[in-house]
Structure 1
Amino acid sequence: MTFKAIIVAGGSGTRSGGRKQWMSLSGKPVLNWSVEAFENAGAAQIIIVVPEDDVAKAQAEFPNAIVTPGGSTRAQSVQAGLKALNAAGDDIIMIHDAARPFLTAPLIDSLLLRMETARAVILALPVTDSLKKTDHDTITDAPTREHLWRAQTPQVFRFGDIVRAYQAWTNGQEPTDDAIVADHAGIRVEVVEGSQRLHKLTYKEDFELLEALIMSETQTQIRVGQGFDAHRWGHGESVWLCGVEIPHDKTLIGHSDADAGLHALTDAILGAVGLGDIGDHFPPTDPQWKGASSDVFLKHAATLVRQKSGRLVNVDVTLICERPKVKPHREAMRARLSEILSLPVECISVKATTTEKMGFTGREEGLAAQAICLIEMPVVRA
């Protein structure tokens, strides 16, 4: 059964400490988990709804999806996603929150199976905790938990049904989810039991919980990679180091932008996962890489790690030169590496040293860089 998907990733993340859709979970951004789940399940179309200033970033990251800006509320973002869809009235639409990253093919299949006979279906879990109603901090009642469920996503509807349901919403309050909008419009919504793994990321502690869950389910091994690169100086007015342009009276000479820091780190990551070196993936004889920005190379290496279900733990780059002075730009470099790798800045180190006027770097003939990284990889059984 074919279906289309809307992934809502428009939150500000005030409770989680940042826009959680871009925060790293086991080595890749939270949003990537849901996109990959729908791609692997064969979604005919994927709409990603993000804040307006994240549209370009998301479109670059997910070129096969349609990215659209959301609204100030979840309901507005869902409706923006529905408008972006190319869908007919009977098309099956799954609406999913990116904050629930552990969506699986079996869960998607169970929803599609129920939609063969239902008009609308949601994932949910039965309430198992005792419920208490309070007046501030005093218990006033203990409602029964019988027939009570905790709603999850995806929530699944026929396209025409959910569009009309939102048009008919006149409650005056913000709907808590799409199911209540459908129910308000007279659409019968059925429940399929979800999964405890489909936990919603709301607070910082939720990230720790899901990271621990991944670790408990996966046997991992530690991989260490190291890289080295050097470029000679030439005439110029600035130099690129670790993704940051620094004013200088020379520039580094190379086929690309000659960012030795990014080149060394790219080689370290490729080496850790056993995928050769930067020249294997981006040959200097290929004219398309002439003058290329080296962040393309580093992003490619990080993507290969994610594709192998690996997790980048930390990176450490050392720049070896007499000039320019690196320390004034070090935090900008760490921030740029954090952005490229989707890795917390505290897991990134950039340092600099000289060779006390010795050797080619001491004579200011060139600059060198070395890098090391730590990666967790799942154990591959022979």
Structure 2
Amino acid sequence: MRHKHKGYHVPTISLIIPAAGLGTRFHQSSGAAFSKSRRRDSKLFYDLAGEPVLARTLAAFAEIPEIREVVLAVSPGMRSEIKRVLGRATCQKIRYVTGTETRAGSVLSALRRTSPSSEWVMVHDGARPLVTTAAIRQLIRGSVGWDGVILARKVIPTIKRVLRSDGRIESTVDRSTLYEAETPQMVRRSVLIKAYKMNPCALQATDEAGLLESIGARVRVISHDGWNPKITTVTDLFLAESMIQNSNPTCTRTGIGFDTHRLVPGRKLWLGGIAIPSPKGSLGHSDGDALLHAIADAMLGVIGRGDIGEWFPDKDPRWKDVKSGVIVEKVLAESKKTGWLPYHVDSNIILETPRLGPYKMKIRRRIARLLQLPIEDVSVKARTREGLGAEGEGLAITCQAVVSMKRIQIAEGDIRKRRS
């Protein structure tokens, strides 16, 4: 089944989480790290910064509308514990299958339960809880024209080829074309089914990309610099918790912006950088774009730099009739200097007339371009005051904006710098 949004083909995806492994290496590494009361049957149920590992794994996918279903391959007896740790509402959206001793076997069991209407299957390890929504979206965007696409990291350490018998080094491997495969791995459902049928050793495959390679399918790598580890040992769990705790207190901030302008005849009505046909427009020293002013104010609030009245005073002739997009660009540049970037915008436009439904997508696109964001990270809502107040009487327009921002250092995921 195909879904389209104004000419853009949106893929339909079934998410498979293989989670039936015994976690032998994890339990062997735990030793005295956990008291008897804190031990769990599966590493997926261990607490990671206040949430079970599996809950954190699933959280990043909850914001991806292209994912139509989730199929968990679990060992017998895990379902009741999953429902307990995830909550009833989440579990109602999940299908369960019984997994096998091998990863490929578990994926095959889940694949058989996926909807035939799904064009794609995305497979992600249940024990990779730090994958980001941004990385998943990058994977989806990169899938166009390919049979499969996987998340991977460029190999950094020096790699040696050795003899098995005595450990003698044979050679140093050229790492310029080497990548460490991770998950998610996104593959066409029909091609994955074909690979399982054609490859007699399919159940020994360690990942979906390998299966597709075996039948000559086209698979590409999406390289990233983030940190997306698989929790294999207790040390991995502690490192992941440390990263979450170190980044969360300071890596994000939220600013609130608010702006009101009188509406008068003879002025253009600008909203989000788009001219809206209207008999009245905003009165202001600049072009009077209340929405962009609210967004700029919210960003200044995040970086602690006052408000736009201080930066762009109405007595300064430089800003007379200036486009408010220029104001937003200057505030964005200042934000970057201080180490902050916007990653999401939510906004309200309170205006009696004209109706803004036909223009909201244009406004979103313009704001997304100004802030260098994907359009899905910009929300624009419009409402009336039902004839009440200055807005309801058509005398004024009010805009509100909430801008979420992140530190550039954290956003780039530069783990190596943090460790050096």
Structure 2 alignment gaps of length 5 or more: 1-9, 28-40, 251-420
1:143 matched to which residue of 2? 173
1:319-371 residue CA offsets vs partner (Å, 9 max, x unmatched)? xxxxxxxxxxxxxxxxxxxxxxxxxxxxxxxxxxxxxxxxxxxxxxxxxxxxx
Separation in 2 of the partners of 1:172 and 1:101?
26
Deviations 1:203-231 (A, max 9, x none): 111011111111221218xxxxxxxxxxx
Which residue of the partner structure matches residue 57 of structure 1?
Answer: 81
CA contact (8 A) 2:195 2:211 kept: yes
* SS of residue in 2 equivalent to 1:142: strand
Say if 1:94 and 1:129 are closer, same or farther in 2 by CA, change over 3 A.
same
**Residue 120 of structure 2: aligned partner:** 92
The amino acid across from 2:48 in the alignment is L
Return the alpha-carbon distance in structure 2 between the equivalents of residues 172 and 98 of structure 1: 21
Partner in structure 1 of residue 16 of structure 2 = 6
Please, which of 52, 65, 72 is the counterpart of residue 48 of structure 1?
A: 72
Provide Cα deviations, 1:155-211, integer angstroms capped at 9, x if missing partner.
011111111111211237711211000110111101101343111111111011111
Residues 59 and 65 in structure 1, CA contact (< 8 A), matched pair in contact too: no
Instruction: Tell me how far apart the structure 1 counterparts of residues 236 and 214 of structure 2 sit (CA, whole Å).
Output: 31
Aligned length: 219
Give the whole-Å Cα distance in 2 for the aligned partners of 1:142 and 1:192.
25
Partner of residue 82 from structure 1, selected from 108, 111, 114: 111
2:53 is the alignment partner of 1:30: yes
Correspondences of 1:285-324 after superposition (within 5 Å): none
Aligned residues of 2:195 and 2:202 also touching (Cα < 8 A): no
In 1, the alpha carbon distance for the partners of 2:121 and 2:201 equals: 23
Question: Matched residues, percent identical?
Answer: 29
Superposition pairs for residues 1-382 of structure 1, below 5 Å?
Answer: 1=10, 2-17=12-27, 19-42=42-65, 43-59=67-83, 61=86, 62-88=91-117, 91-135=119-163, 136-171=166-201, 174-219=204-249
- Specify whether residues 51 and 125 from structure 1 end up closer, same or farther in structure 2 by C-alpha distance, changes over 3 A only: same
Give the TM-score, by structure 2 length: 0.50
Alpha-carbon distance in 1 for matches of 2:208, 2:202: 15
Q: Tell me the alpha carbon deviations over residues 74-130 of structure 1, each in whole angstroms, 9 at most, x when there is no partner.
A: 010000110111123x61211110111112111111111112222210011111110
Q: Which runs of 5+ in 1 are unaligned?
A: 221-382
Residues 85/151 of structure 1: CA separation in 2 closer, same or farther (3 Å cut): same
Matches of 2:203 and 2:132 in 1, distance apart? 32
> 1:266-286 deviations in whole A, cap 9, x for unaligned?
xxxxxxxxxxxxxxxxxxxxx
C-alpha separation in 1, matches of 2:113 and 2:225 = 29
Q: Which amino acid aligns with 2:81?
A: K
1:275-305 per-position Cα deviation (integer Å, ceiling 9, x unaligned): xxxxxxxxxxxxxxxxxxxxxxxxxxxxxxx
Q: Deviations over 1:45-91 (max 9, x none)?
A: 11111112213333554222111110110010000110111123x61
Q: Secondary structure at the match of 2:183?
A: strand
Letter aligned with residue 62 of structure 2? E
Secondary structure in structure 2 of the residue aligned to 1:111: helix
Larger mean Cα displacement after TM superposition, 55-64 or 119-128: 55-64
Secondary structure of the structure 2 residue equivalent to 1:145: coil
The alignment yields a C-alpha RMSD, in angstroms, of: 1.8
In 2, the alpha carbon distance for the partners of 1:190 and 1:105 equals 19
Q: How many angstroms apart in 2 are the aligned matches of 1:195 and 1:153?
A: 14
Higher relative contact order (CA 8 A, sep 6+): 1
Q: Matched residues in 2 for 1:127 and 1:203: separation?
A: 21
Please give the secondary structure, in 2, of the residue aligned with 1:160.
helix
Contact 2:150 2:220 in 1 (8 A): yes
After TM superposition, the score normalised by the length of structure 1 is 0.54
Distance 1:83 1:59 in 2: 22
Q: Any idea what SS the aligned residue of 1:141 has?
A: strand
Whole-angstrom CA distance in 2 between matches of 1:211 and 1:34: 13
The answer to whether the 8 A contact 2:104-2:202 is kept is no
Amino acid at match of 1:82: L
Which residue number in structure 2 is paired with residue 242 of structure 1?
A: none
SS in 2 for 1:170: coil
